[in-house]
Amino acid sequence: MDAIYPLATSKGITLKVEPVPGTLEVFADAEAVHQILTNLLENAIKYTPDGGTVTVGAQPSGPNHVEFFVRDSGMGIPPEDLARLFERFYRVDKARSRALGGTGLGLAIVKHLTRAQGGEVRVESRVDKGSTFYFTIPVNDLGLDESGAIQQELTVQ
CATH number assigned to the domain comprising residue 151:
3.30.565.10
Domain of residue 85, residue span: 4-156
Q: What is the pTM of this model?
A: 0.83
Compute CA distances 62 → 3, 59, 105, 134, whole Å.
Answer: 32, 10, 30, 14
Q: Into how many domains does the chain fold? A: 1
For 115-149, the pLDDT digits (tens) are: 998 999 999 999 999 999 999 999 887 654 455 55
SS3 content of the chain, % helix, strand, coil (to 5): 40, 25, 40
Identify which of 152, 154, 69, 144 has the alpha carbon closest to the alpha carbon of residue 111: 154
pLDDT tens figures, 47-68: 999 999 999 999 998 888 999 9
